[in-house]
Amino acid sequence: MKWKTSLSIGAMRARYKKGFVIPLAIAIVSMLALTAYFTVNFSKNQDAKTFHIVNVENAKLLADAALEAGTYKVRTEMNDMGNLNPVDIVKGVVSMLSNPSSSWYLKMRVPGIVVTGGVGASTGIAGLNAEISLSPDSLGLSPTWSKQTLNAGALGITQYIRELGGDDSRTKVELTMMLKDMKPVLSDSGTVLWPGAVTDEGFLQDWIKKLGNQLFDFLGLNDIKFKIDLSQFIKGLTISIMGIPIPIGDILAGVLGNFLTVEFDLGAMLSKALESIAGQLKIGDIMPIKADVVIEKLATLAYTVRVEYVPAGSSIPIKLEVEATRDVKVVDCAAPNPLYSFYWLNKDNQTFGEEAWGRTGGGKFKVMNLNLDPDYKGKFELNDILSFFKGLFSLKIVRFPGLCHIGGAGKQKIPTGLNDLLLIYPSHTPAITMFGNYGYGKCFLPRAFFLGAPPADAIPWFPWISVPPIGVIGIVKVVKAIADKSGNNTQLFGDWCLSPPLNMKINGNVAKTYTRVDGVGFSFPVPFPPCMLGAGAYKYKCEEKGYSYSFFEKEPKAETNGMIENIYTPDQYRKKSSMCYESGGEFSSDSTIRDSGGIVKIDGVIYIEGSASVSGTFYGAGQLVVNGDLTVTGDIVHKPKDGNRIIPFSIICFGTLRTSANCRILAPVYAKNGVAIGASTHIMGNLVCEKFNPGQISRDLTVWYTPEITTSSFLSLIPYVGRYVPDRYRSVIANQFSTYKINNVKN
């Protein structure tokens, strides 16, 4: 075979007489088609790729939204404790923990409650101590009691899927949340519901003896003395011995003489009998009653969210799985506002003597712990008092607020009690009242109600109440200040006292010295339709005692970093503020937050950098935070209630609270560096300070403990933070307290 070596086109054409243009064209057209196909396909792929990138991001956003919505649901549920009181908590904890339909976050809040308490054995009765301990384990709950799974509907994010451009009917979301690593922590020192009391039996015995003797005296029994001459009975008595009559009566009368005269002193007999009876009275010490609420202070909320995001018009899901965790902490919302009328952290351990407290800077410092005036008028009227007694010691009325707490190691010798109201209810007989009236001008109530009244009482006495019809209706334990020693400036801590016939020791660093006045009162019913009035008088003798009372005393917790526990730093308030001003002047000139009447609308935190002067009316819920000195130039008024809804409002000042004009401040006040009172000031709420100097009180400062106002937290907009309200402890997953992190993302 001979190969042609000439491959020239001409030769080819000459040889085959055929062209190759057609095959060549076909080949090129094929290449062209392939290229076009590739180009078009590439474009489509690129578009799809872009589309995919965006939808993967959408899937991530959807997972984020699921986590956000789940967290929101948790937040909503975890603190929904209703209005349970501590007793109800104990009662309800079983149902809470065992009821599958109840929120498991709610269960989480109180997995265990331990209540201890009892009565000492000194009563002669064996001490009664009770302890209740409940926990999920002890109730045999399922190990998955703290787990729940939610879909898009339950999370409320179906609309959000549509907003993202997804097909909500095909898109699937499954969020599983579970608590892990729960670390039960017993509260530091337990919540002392009742600090206990060391009873003074001697006092009671003396009291009963005095009562009896006074009663006998009143009835005239003490004066009853009589003699019985027994000789008269045996006179003429003869016996016959051996038939001989012997006048034995005369003989005995002659021998025994006066021995046969028996004198009876009824008063002494009754007194001895009373003494004997009273001597057998024993009252056991009341042991402290504590409720140690075991709260999960730390736990981890573990999320797993699975998303199958299907864009609208597509059927291909973009799958994503995200694992995340969030810390759960329990925050004591009452800690920033310790709910005392006056709370002085006193980290510097300053001590002032009685003289300094008494004389202050020229003004009087009064703390009124029981405010019966619902409209905060700042003065008491008879109707208020009657309302109080209509309440008859209901818990609502006689819920003793915190009195005062002064920190530091040294004792503050504070004269007390000039304005004490005396309420006497021996042996739980209700509505026995007597107003202290020891010295004109020194007692608040008589001066208010019965100006110039002599030291005698008018006592409302309602016939439908079981009281003795006549006679002694009030044996008083009168509480009186030692104000006499120091003059007018000692109107300090004018507590109203509900004084049961027990002496209780005070806890803390306040030496509240009282002069106890025991005595007897008489009252006579006077018809005064529709009721009877009792009119009478009492007399007493003074006896100085170092006792006071203390209800629901709670020891302060150790401060952290020189701050009151859980209160925010200025920066944190600034961050959470809804309105932030760089100066006080900027706040004052901002008309956007004021209506035509100048009322400041507040919703959230109003933060002012630096010092500011503030007065006026605030409406809404929020906190006024001043990172500097706050000068109050007039009333700061806030309406604490909007219908039945309590609106929280509080003032936080990181400098000194100054007042330059007579004013009322209707808010709990946190003044870090204390107060400088330059004008008559009434705080309807409470006063919490880290530093304090009574010498800065150059005009009268009165703190009226007003529960509705005082219980506003410095921490948040929680409407009501009672010391013994379960809501005090909040499970928190807020950003300020909780660490949130995404641990894993899988496509």
Instruction: Please tell me the number of Cα atoms within 13 Å of 30 on its side-chain side.
Output: 6
Q: Measure the CA–CA gap between 544 and 479, rounded to whole angstroms.
A: 10
Greatest Cα-to-Cα distance within the chain, rounded to the nearest angstrom: 201
Binding flag, residue 32, another protein (CB under 8 A): yes
Q: Smaller CB distance to another protein: residue 156 or 439?
A: 156
Q: Smaller CB distance to another protein: residue 24 or 125?
A: 24
Among 43, 151, 238, 569, binds another protein (CB under 8 A): 43
Residues, the chain: 747
Q: Residues 461-480: x/- map of binding to another protein (CB under 8 A)?
A: --------------------
Among 1, 10, 395, 527, binds another protein (CB under 8 A): 10
For another protein (CB under 8 A), the number of binding residues is 66
Among 55, 59, 65, 696, binds another protein (CB under 8 A): 65
Q: Measure the CA–CA gap between 478 and 150, rounded to whole angstroms.
A: 63
CB of 648 to another protein, least distance (A): 13
Beta carbons within 10 angstroms of residue 733's beta carbon: 21
Q: CA distances (Å), 438 to each of 133, 148, 245, 455, 478, in order?
A: 50, 66, 73, 7, 9
Backbone phi and psi for residue 86, each to the nearest 5 degrees, phi listed first: -55, -35
CB of 581 to another protein, least distance (A): 14
Choices 13-21, 465-473, 484-492, 608-616; region in contact with another protein by CB under 8 A: 13-21
Q: Measure the CA–CA gap between 528 and 526, rounded to whole angstroms.
A: 6
Binding flag, residue 130, another protein (CB under 8 A): no
Among 71, 490, 550, 710, binds another protein (CB under 8 A): 71
**The amino acid at 683:** I
Q: Smaller CB distance to another protein: residue 41 or 133?
A: 41
Among 6, 50, 129, 151, binds another protein (CB under 8 A): 50
Q: Measure the CA–CA gap between 266 and 227, rounded to whole angstroms.
A: 11
Binding flag, residue 39, another protein (CB under 8 A): yes
CA angle 207, 209, 214 (to 5 degrees): 95
Q: Residues 727, 672, 550, 339: what is their CA dihedral angle, to the nearest 10 degrees?
A: -20
Binding flag, residue 552, another protein (CB under 8 A): no
Binding flag, residue 603, another protein (CB under 8 A): yes
Binding flag, residue 83, another protein (CB under 8 A): no
Choices 26-34, 112-120, 343-351, 630-638; region in contact with another protein by CB under 8 A: 26-34
Nearest to 681 by CA among 707, 659, 708, 714: 659
Among 6, 15, 48, 54, binds another protein (CB under 8 A): 54
Burial environment of residue 632 by CB neighbours within 10 A (0 to 12, 13 to 18, 19 or more): buried
Binding flag, residue 180, another protein (CB under 8 A): no
Both tokens of residue 442? 């020194």
Both tokens of residue 229? 């001459």
CB of 740 to another protein, least distance (A): 12
Binding flag, residue 590, another protein (CB under 8 A): no
CB of 563 to another protein, least distance (A): 16
Choices 385-393, 448-456, 496-504, 731-739; region in contact with another protein by CB under 8 A: 731-739
Q: How, if at all, do strands 289-309 and 318-332 pair? A: antiparallel
- What is residue 189's three-state secondary structure? coil
Radius of gyration of the chain (CA): 41
Among 6, 129, 159, 169, binds another protein (CB under 8 A): 159
Q: Residues 675-714: x/- map of binding to another protein (CB under 8 A)?
A: ----------------------------------------
Beta carbons within 10 angstroms of residue 134's beta carbon: 20
Q: Smaller CB distance to another protein: residue 76 or 138?
A: 76
With a CB cutoff of 8 Å and minimum separation 6, the contacts of 357 are 365, 412, 413, 414, 415, 490, 492, 694
CB of 48 to another protein, least distance (A): 11
Q: Measure the CA–CA gap between 134 and 111, rounded to whole angstroms.
A: 7
CB of 16 to another protein, least distance (A): 8
CB of 64 to another protein, least distance (A): 7
Nearest to 267 by CA among 256, 275, 279: 275
b/e burial code for range 681-706 (CB count within 10 A of at least 16 → b): bbbbbbbbbbbbbbebbebbbbbbbb
CB of 109 to another protein, least distance (A): 12
**The amino acid at 726:** P
**Interactions with another protein, residue window 94-113 (CB under 8 A):** none
Q: Measure the CA–CA gap between 170 and 313, rounded to whole angstroms.
A: 10
Q: Smaller CB distance to another protein: residue 65 or 445?
A: 65
Backbone phi and psi for residue 468, each to the nearest 5 degrees, phi listed first: -60, 140
- E strands in 123-164: 128-133, 147-151
Whether residue 570 is preceded by a cis peptide bond, meaning omega within 30 degrees of 0, is no
CB of 47 to another protein, least distance (A): 9
Among 6, 15, 48, 76, binds another protein (CB under 8 A): 76
Helix and strand counts by DSSP (H, E) for the chain: 16, 38
Binding flag, residue 586, another protein (CB under 8 A): no
Binding flag, residue 18, another protein (CB under 8 A): yes
**Interactions with another protein, residue window 298-337 (CB under 8 A):** 331, 333
Binding flag, residue 87, another protein (CB under 8 A): no
CB 731 within 8 A of CB 78: yes
Choices 33-41, 109-117, 214-222, 394-402; region in contact with another protein by CB under 8 A: 33-41
Binding flag, residue 22, another protein (CB under 8 A): yes
Choices 16-24, 175-183, 198-206, 219-227; region in contact with another protein by CB under 8 A: 16-24
Among 9, 395, 409, 558, binds another protein (CB under 8 A): 9
Q: Measure the CA–CA gap between 728 and 700, rounded to whole angstroms.
A: 32
**Interactions with another protein, residue window 330-349 (CB under 8 A):** 331, 333
Binding flag, residue 737, another protein (CB under 8 A): yes
Burial environment of residue 46 by CB neighbours within 10 A (0 to 12, 13 to 18, 19 or more): exposed
Q: Smaller CB distance to another protein: residue 16 or 226?
A: 16
Choices 156-164, 273-281, 373-381, 487-495; region in contact with another protein by CB under 8 A: 156-164
Q: Could you give the angle at which helices 201-219 and 266-279 cross, rounded to 10 degrees?
A: 160
Choices 50-58, 340-348, 488-496, 652-660; region in contact with another protein by CB under 8 A: 50-58
Both tokens of residue 219? 């009835």
Question: Which residues are at the interface with another protein (CB under 8 A)?
Answer: 9-10, 13, 16-19, 21-22, 24-25, 28-29, 31-32, 35-36, 38-39, 42-43, 46, 49-50, 53-54, 57-58, 61, 64-65, 68-69, 71-72, 75-76, 78-79, 156-157, 159-160, 163-165, 331, 333, 575-578, 603-605, 715-716, 718, 730-737
